[in-house]
Structure 1
């Protein structure tokens, strides 16, 4: 997917570096030229390809995440590609450490984390969730540290320039001039945005700048870049629909309260569900039965089965990575070879695919905003979704997309389908 620019008339390919798998899939779904999600940052990239690369940096220490970003950025910057760092729209993860390394060697950095379709906007440099400033919400309830009061605070850069909405909406010529003037001061530039049109304007303006100007954003900015290249076409990977529907295994690794209602919708439609306790996953036998045995029992012969983590007791957020790994091991140990997967929560999705030795996903389409249908190289269908996305019928729709017609790309989402990212 080449982007035209004054310094490279033939256009520069785009490379997206994501910090977790569900975010990587979200970006891949809205970029027309993306044909591969790479789970191995060192995997070869084809000439003029538009890959989305999951660095899996969210689970690292800040220093470890920074090293991953530095290596990936250096590797792809020398190719002349435009670089986008996919970050969390709520500024979670190692935002400052990763952005600092990503900006090294760039001629400028433009930051636009808004996702209007999910109620994530930026006004006066402050992220707002459905109009409420981020630091007045509960969105960071499971995060270490204090909630940043602004994007500049999350960056750790007091010299950050904020381009307010009136400049973003002043027209292409004016916005381009404002960006160039702000970038000339050598500090990051944060762009306010409350609508997709605002992000379209930012994307257009940045693409008129040299390719050495780098971008940090979430799914909203990525979608704006994708819209510049036209609609996303169906991208089903090669494969034939089976004679009968394959079993679907749903793995819910999120602690988001909405997951309970989503699982309830599935069980009402006949899915078999088992909630594995955190105690048994972190120390087998805590609930009287090994989690792998519980997983095997619920999967056996079920057309649709759901495995989740019991929320009966509070769990220290620092244990979340270990829980995700333990859940993934239990699933991989008993997963039928012909089963397709629905995976919620970026950490859980990545750990399950790691256990299955999956290093590449082929994007197919979207079920709804953020719920992305992919296929593995060996033909297994996988739908991923960030933990807090979607309404009560989200999991039902994700499973339905796999069982109605396995050989057809899923329809693109309505703009109203949203959720946090």
Structure 2
């Protein structure tokens, strides 16, 4: 651990996002570590991993906006880095605008260059409108999230009271690097304060052009996992640190905390015998399910994967919310208790039977899972199951050295969870 300067610091508002965006650098061979559990006290970051690329999970997506901005600013000021990358959710949930503004001020960059598109995951932007699988963002399920976007327009989402927000069209982006660079320079020169510049992007090539153009300025990059794959790394040798995780003996343990439509559809593809559905109402009042942990450990002991979840369909989710509200709990508290219960149950499984690897989907349950294992840091291997689903190893805690795969709730094909289980079973050739 050290207080050294990093080539890139990625600041993200949830764990799965920190992982998939940091992977954009690990995949190019740069040594990459993720501070997975929020540092809490800024002083903890003085003992951060000594890696060229550092991802920091602030876990602020559902925090009060002003408090979230303060945390982001503190991380940017505390961690010295040649380049700061402010990761935002590819569906723009969370305190997106105010966290970007805080990072821009703290980094003292010339501008914030914003491109949240992630074409490999179905996220694109055209004419300033952000789309998910071809649907305008404000018409998707993500708009119903408690911190969901209220508009599909990037200029609305990144609107600021005291700095300009400008837009670069797809025509300019597709004209090439020089045109984008000229547009960025003009935007900087037009304003007294560093502006926020949002960009259209529909392809990987578009993102590469945008990232390349940003290199001519002191740029705060703002995006999801897609843009990160193309941001140049200053102050580090060419990447040579890819180290695919060696899967251990046994079978994998999965913890499914996301209840997005995408994840629920993926869960349907998992063999029924592997799915251990805990009683969500019990998790509202009990720290863990002993019965669920025992069943999962028995499956692992027999050489079979185990998948812990608290819901396999939308009806269960809605029923759990009603039960929680009847007990006087708000939605945020309900979610936290379910995530904590799943995580504690998984830790109990590991006490009984070591898995070959761990899989978490859903940022809240992933953080809760690592906390329950006394783990704070993940080292990324540079490998991935598929786009947006990176592979790492726990660097500390009771399961140190165990391979870990994380997936954002809205990412992946219908076979994503099955594929992750296969990878962690050793089928990763």
TM-score normalised by length of structure 1: 0.83
Q: 1:350 aligns with which of 361, 367, 375?
A: 367
Matched position secondary structure for 1:224:
coil
Query: How far 1:45 sits from its partner (Å)?
Result: 4.7
Within the alignment, does 1:132 sit opposite 2:149 as a pair? no
Partner of 1:341: 358
Partner of 2:388: 370
Query: How far 1:390 sits from its partner (Å)?
Result: 1.5
Query: How far 1:124 sits from its partner (Å)?
Result: 2.1
Q: 1:194 aligns with which of 193, 198, 202?
A: 202
Between Structure 1 and Structure 2, the one with more helix by share is 2
Does structure 2 conserve the Cα–Cα contact (< 8 Å) formed by 1:58 and 1:94? yes
Query: How far 1:252 sits from its partner (Å)?
Result: 0.5
Does structure 2 conserve the Cα–Cα contact (< 8 Å) formed by 1:274 and 1:295? no
Q: 1:255 aligns with which of 242, 252, 259?
A: 259
Change (3 A) 1:127 1:145: closer
1 CA distance for matches of 2:409 and 2:50? 34
Does structure 2 conserve the Cα–Cα contact (< 8 Å) formed by 1:199 and 1:221? yes
Does structure 1 conserve the Cα–Cα contact (< 8 Å) formed by 2:259 and 2:317? no
Does structure 2 conserve the Cα–Cα contact (< 8 Å) formed by 1:84 and 1:216? yes
Does structure 2 conserve the Cα–Cα contact (< 8 Å) formed by 1:91 and 1:151? no
Within the alignment, does 1:322 sit opposite 2:337 as a pair? yes
Q: 1:16 aligns with which of 5, 10, 13?
A: 10
Matched position secondary structure for 2:271:
helix
Partner of 2:173: 168
2 CA distance for matches of 1:313 and 1:401? 29
Matched position secondary structure for 1:225:
coil
Q: 1:266 aligns with which of 244, 267, 270?
A: 270
Does structure 2 conserve the Cα–Cα contact (< 8 Å) formed by 1:59 and 1:321? no
Change (3 A) 1:12 1:46: closer
Within the alignment, does 1:35 sit opposite 2:32 as a pair? yes
Does structure 1 conserve the Cα–Cα contact (< 8 Å) formed by 2:275 and 2:307? yes
TM-score normalised by length of structure 2: 0.81
Within the alignment, does 1:209 sit opposite 2:206 as a pair? no
Partner of 1:417: none
Q: Deviation digits for residues 287-318 of structure 1, max 9, x if unmatched?
A: xxx72332323332432111111242504443
Matched position secondary structure for 2:336:
helix
Superposed counterparts of 1:173-322, under 5 Å: 173-184=178-189, 185=191, 186=193, 187-210=195-218, 213-225=219-231, 234-236=242-244, 242=248, 245-267=249-271, 271-284=273-286, 291-302=289-300, 303-310=304-311, 311=313, 312-314=316-318, 315-316=320-321, 317-318=331-332, 319-322=334-337
Q: CA RMSD in A?
A: 2.7
Which runs of at least 4 in structure 1 moved beyond 6 Å after TM superposition?
226-233
2 CA distance for matches of 1:284 and 1:216? 40
Query: How far 1:337 sits from its partner (Å)?
Result: 5.5
